Structure 1
Amino acid sequence: MQAPSYDVVVVGAGIVGGAAAYHLARAGLRVALLDRSGVAAEASDAGAGMLTPLAEAGADDLHDPLLRLGLAGLRHYERLEEQLQSETGMWAGLVHLPTLYPAFDDKSAEQLRSGLAALQSWRPELRWLEADEVRRREPLLAPTVRGAILSPAEGNVAIGHLTRLLVRAALLAGAELLPPQSAQGLLWDGQRVRGLLSERGPIEAAHVVLATGAWSSIWHERGEQEAVVYPLKGQLLALRPSGQPLRHTIYAGPLGYLVPKADGSVFVGATSERRGFDKTATAGGLAQLLAVVRQVAPGLEEAAVERTWAGLRPVSIDGLPFIGPAPGSPGLWLAVGHGRVGAITGPVTGFIVAELLQGRPAPYDLDLRPFAPERLGAWSRLRITLSEAGAWRQPPGLFRQASAESASAAEDQRRGTP
């Protein structure tokens, strides 16, 4: 039986892989999307979905490449939302509530105010609010608030819903979503990648895009023992306010954050734990999240607790994602390691890869050198020649979760659209 053939096969159906598949299919390429657990089965259905590059990317350094990528992501959302809603007729998942960066002591307030002018060079709509105006705008905040930066354009997104919509739009554009299956390794023809071997058989493609999240290190020459991308567990809490709603996304620095969603719930986050691939919600994690509510927005202490959960952020060891072609493995493209900023940088990364793959320059005038895929070594650990793939007999799975079962399709369906 002849192996199926595509222009591009995208491995990983999270927010990054979904975006890559969407933009590639929209450009007219023959695209296959593959994931062992289904669409949005991991971090892309677990995050709070904050679109806050100023919070998450080290906004104190205006030359931070992650900040610039996040700001490009914010611009990209403006066109992406309109495109998706036009092409699918569905809500894209964005919640257009502004973000507040509050300070709860004089020192923090002074630090925020002193850095505001520099931030306004990137986002001129930012402005400082005195304490009285902050309390008037957001009465659920702690009365000790000393002031806040208001960011009108930094909202949030239902990231699982957006991921599923990207895949839906990709399918409408001609992409193919393959049945859930594990990837076993990269197919090589001489010195070039020519597809991959899955547990169901070989899949030939001119290009392979890895968007494999927290499990990406298995493809790297260092392997899982010296992981260049590792899982960082984050526990979250969903509340249901009984009275007035939260009117802003609240990012309170090291204290935590609160994210109002379209259905009226509020996500509270998040812990940062090195626990391997364990996604268990714990009593200690819940206590930490409740402390965020008590310190930042005590007006929510009477809100009902709806659920707690945990996800695994795919964090690179140097803090920057890997984006673009792998020079040592022609035909291989990387889009992994986005860590805490997957919501804001995931869709634009998919767009970047699609543009580069078609021979176009990096969009949004981005300098992609800090995100070079091979800066920490090659991505060619799982090599399978075409001749070896021809003798394929369902080899044992190489691409497994290290210490916990991946989310099943049934769980993804149970969660439903946010």
Structure 2
Amino acid sequence: MGAQVTVVGGGAVGLTCALAAIDDGWRVRIYDDGPQRRAAQVAGGMLGCLGEAGPGDDALLELSAESVARWPALLARLNDPNIVVADDTLLIAGSAADRAYLDDAVAFLQARLPGARIVAQSASELRAREPALTRAPSGGYRLTGEGAVDNRAFLAALRRRLVDAGAELVERRVDDVADLAGEATQVLIAAGLESSSLVPGGLPGLRGEKGEILRLRRTAESVPPPRHVIRGRWHGRNVYLVPRPGGLVLGATQYESYDHSDRGPQAGGVADLLTDACELFPGLRTYELVEVSAGIRPMSDDGLPIVRRLDDRTIVAAGHGRNGFALSPGTAQQVRKLLGSPADYERNTA
């Protein structure tokens, strides 16, 4: 039958790691308790190597850059034209103070990644790229190659590829990894925030951060959705607009979550997103608001994902925060190294 990896968690990280394990010759079984609890279901899907990191985030930037470089190969493997929704990002400032904030962030990025393709843009240059933008931005930057994927299309394509490759997907909640003792030679815990409850003693430093995502659909009277990812620093707040077929998603709210079962959107967060987005992209006022969701992102204290071996049978991959999609291929590579090959495992346990 061969050695088996059992993955607990069906989000972007768990599924990407599962595909890498299959590539290395492991049999794979995945336990997933449904989309309602996945942070990956409520996500913008930005491949944020540059747009997410700022001064002080040197280690995260390095990790993100390495992982984002692996995305083209993963996308080629999935071979689905519906996954990629944008190739570039526009950073847009709403005021002089916002522009100064972006200038500092870009100076950090250019110092750490001198090869990054970052070009300053005037207000008129930004509007030439996105004609539906407000007439009053204070300039910004274009990040070439800083794209985004449709999170739900990516997850669906990845699940199809896994099934085609022989993985077994089981829709069932796992409350105790000890229940898997009879079926798995190796267990990967990749269940987001709930990973902590599956580890004896928990995962110190793993906490929840709540954020809203709004989905809007274009109507017959609406301007077209943007062609770029738009990341606004808008009068002291962050807002992002990410294209989707026939519409877009809005996000950027984040605040501590002490009740991890609470996935109800907060009125204030929704109001802030709509206010800022409609000022930045006024044509959104004629779009239909078709979904308001909230997710709990698994955050670590230092902002870096927790990827390590817990014992000779168990590996954990959690704490990716806002960067789960961007960091998935890099995390899969880390997990591959921790797993080794099934042949090596069988020799060592013979």
TM-score tier by shorter-chain length is 0.7 to 0.9
Give the aligned residue type for 1:144. Answer: A
State how far apart, in whole Å, the 1-side matches of 2:35 and 2:15 are: 8
Report the secondary structure of 1:91's partner residue. Answer: coil
Determine which of 288, 295, 308 is the counterpart of 2:292.
Answer: 308
Tell me, yes or no, if structure 1 residue 248 matches structure 2 residue 228.
yes
Tell me, yes or no, if structure 1 residue 288 matches structure 2 residue 272.
yes
Q: CA, structure 1 residues 213+116, in 2 after alignment: closer, same or farther (shift >3 Å)?
A: closer
Q: Which of the two has higher C-alpha Rg?
A: 1
CA-based RMSD of the aligned residues comes to 2.5
State how far apart, in whole Å, the 2-side matches of 1:24 and 1:345 are: 17
Shift of 1:111: 4.7
State how far apart, in whole Å, the 1-side matches of 2:276 and 2:201 are: 38
Report the secondary structure of 2:92's partner residue. Answer: strand
Tell me, yes or no, if structure 1 residue 19 matches structure 2 residue 1.
no
State how far apart, in whole Å, the 1-side matches of 2:2 and 2:276 are: 50
Structure 1 unmatched runs, 5+: 187-196, 360-418
The equivalent of 1:112 in structure 2 is: 102
Structure 2 unmatched runs, 5+: 342-350
Determine which of 203, 206, 209 is the counterpart of 2:185.
Answer: 206
> Aligned runs of 1:261-410 on 2, under 5 Å?
261-275=243-257, 276-277=259-260, 278-326=262-310, 329-358=311-340
Give the aligned residue type for 2:90. Answer: L
State how far apart, in whole Å, the 2-side matches of 1:114 and 1:230 are: 28
Shift of 1:13: 1.0
Report the secondary structure of 1:83's partner residue. Answer: helix
Shift of 1:114: 5.6
Report the secondary structure of 1:230's partner residue. Answer: strand
Tell me, yes or no, if structure 1 residue 75 matches structure 2 residue 75.
no
State how far apart, in whole Å, the 2-side matches of 1:115 and 1:316 are: 22
The equivalent of 2:346 in structure 1 is: none
TM-score (normalizing by structure 2): 0.86
The equivalent of 1:159 in structure 2 is: 151
Aligned length: 333
Report the secondary structure of 1:261's partner residue. Answer: strand
State how far apart, in whole Å, the 1-side matches of 2:298 and 2:23 are: 27
State how far apart, in whole Å, the 2-side matches of 1:116 and 1:230 are: 29
State how far apart, in whole Å, the 2-side matches of 1:288 and 1:105 are: 17
Tell me, yes or no, if structure 1 residue 231 matches structure 2 residue 208.
yes
Shift of 1:123: 4.0
Cα contact 1:18–1:166 (8 A) shared by 2: yes
The equivalent of 2:92 in structure 1 is: 102
Shift of 1:260: 3.3
Partner deviation per Cα, 1:279-315 (whole Å, 9 max, x = no partner):
1123223212112213422332232222211111111
State how far apart, in whole Å, the 2-side matches of 1:271 and 1:318 are: 19
TM-score (normalizing by structure 1): 0.73
The equivalent of 1:178 in structure 2 is: 170
Partner deviation per Cα, 1:390-415 (whole Å, 9 max, x = no partner):
xxxxxxxxxxxxxxxxxxxxxxxxxx
Q: CA, structure 1 residues 29+221, in 2 after alignment: closer, same or farther (shift >3 Å)?
A: closer
